[in-house]
Amino acid sequence: MRILALPGDGVGVEVTEAALRVLDWFRTRRGFACEVLRRDFGLANWTKHGTMMPDETWARILEADAILFGAVGSLDQAGVVPPEERRKGSLLRMRKALDLFANLRPVRMPAALAEASPCKPRVTEGVDLILVRELTAGVYFGTPRGVETLPDGTRRGVNTHSYTEAEIARAARFAFALARGRRGRVTSVDKANVMEAGALWREVVGRIGAEEFPDVVLEHMLADNCAIQLLRAPRRFDVILTDNLFGDLLSDAAGAIIGSLGMLPSASLSAPDAAGRRRALYEPIHGSAPDIAGRGVANPLGAILSLALLLRWSAGRAEDAAHLEAAVDRALAAGARTSDIAAPGESVLSTEQMTQAVLDAL
């Protein structure tokens, strides 16, 4: 397997380093055969070398079996990076080029972190859901898009929310198949009441569910209601299927249940090719966190749990993945805390110490 590490910017570098240490454990102790390459890109690279995405890095991206991604500091406060360069180094470009249409975000509440959550323990206890967000269509990609000047001199901003039946269908099939290996329940989220594309979404998901996955329980839910139910009764969800925009919002809302962005992993997958191989990018959901970058205090668990997803989805090593997830739980149960998940008065570990705690638990 060819694994490409793209640490990128800010804490992306620190947490990817942590994930690579854990990956090394699986190579030496579990015989996981893989070749790991590490390449620069991002804002820091622009500052140093005048490009956000070196051509050589892009070539490696296109041929990697799996990418371990850190973060890109896409907010360019000074506005110095030309738009063309920003697009070259953007995550959207990678998602589109690799056709990563299925974004998975598992949200599991570790019992030890009940206190870190903004929700009451009786609400969060046992939460174990996974959100499937369609990632390559919808309003982030639809055309026409842009800002135009009207005849009266004022401006109009336009984006287009668009989904073909095929784009809906492949996301739906992914979610149904995933639910089969879990508790057999899909909640499909849309705004069918006000959006034509949402009504089509509901129709296509309903048809595929009835015809191809009659054993999976399907419910439809409006996106605004879903936002409420995620906070009121998150345990009721197994697999949540939704589009690109609602998925962006609802996956962050679902993540908030856990209490820190630093805890949450994600996987972005393409359809399998003829050989059954999926393109894949794994990343913690947080960004470059400029407010804490460079201090060695970032929580590495989101990146480490992203590695567990890589083991499961790209390497076919489900047992190793479960072993790693259990090790993270054990480290937390034993009291290991970075500052973002520590309760007042609890002692706090650095990024490196938390990584060591996971290695010890392994």
Residues that bind ligand NAI (CB under 6 A): 11, 15, 71-75, 91, 261-262, 283, 286-292, 298-299, 302, 340
Which DSSP state fits 214?
T
> Is 191 assigned a catalytic role?
yes
**Spatial separation of the C-alpha atoms in residues 346 and 114, rounded to whole Å:** 14
Number of residues counted as binding Mg ion (CB under 5 A): 1
Cβ 252 to Mg ion, closest distance in Å? Answer: 5
* Amino acid letter for position 255: G
Question: 340 is in the binding site of which of ligand NAI, Mg ion, none (Cβ under 5 to 8 A by kind)?
Answer: ligand NAI
**Catalytic pick from 163, 191, 238, 340?**
191
Question: 259 is in the binding site of which of Mg ion, ligand NAI, none (Cβ under 5 to 8 A by kind)?
Answer: none
**Spatial separation of the C-alpha atoms in residues 223 and 245, rounded to whole Å:** 10
**Spatial separation of the C-alpha atoms in residues 224 and 194, rounded to whole Å:** 12
Whichever of 135 and 175 has its CB closer to Mg ion, that residue is: 135
Question: 128 is in the binding site of which of Mg ion, ligand NAI, none (Cβ under 5 to 8 A by kind)?
Answer: none
Cβ 34 to ligand NAI, closest distance in Å? Answer: 23
Residues in the chain: 362
55 is written with which tokens? 């051509």
Binding flags for Mg ion, 187-216, as an x/- string (CB under 5 A): ------------------------------
Interface segment toward Mg ion; rule CB under 5 A; list 24-32, 165-173, 245-253, 316-324: 245-253
- 248 interacts with Mg ion by CB under 5 A: yes
Which whole-number Å values give the CA distances from 123 to 200, 240, 310, in the listed order?
33, 18, 30
> Is 140 assigned a catalytic role?
yes
> Is 9 assigned a catalytic role?
no
N- to C-terminal Cα separation, the chain: 22
Query: What is the per-residue burial (b if ≥16 Cβ within 10 Å, else e) of 67-95?
Result: bbbbbbbbeeeeeebeeebbebbebeebb
> Is 163 assigned a catalytic role?
no
Residues labelled catalytic: 140, 191, 224, 248, 252
Residues that bind Mg ion (CB under 5 A): 248
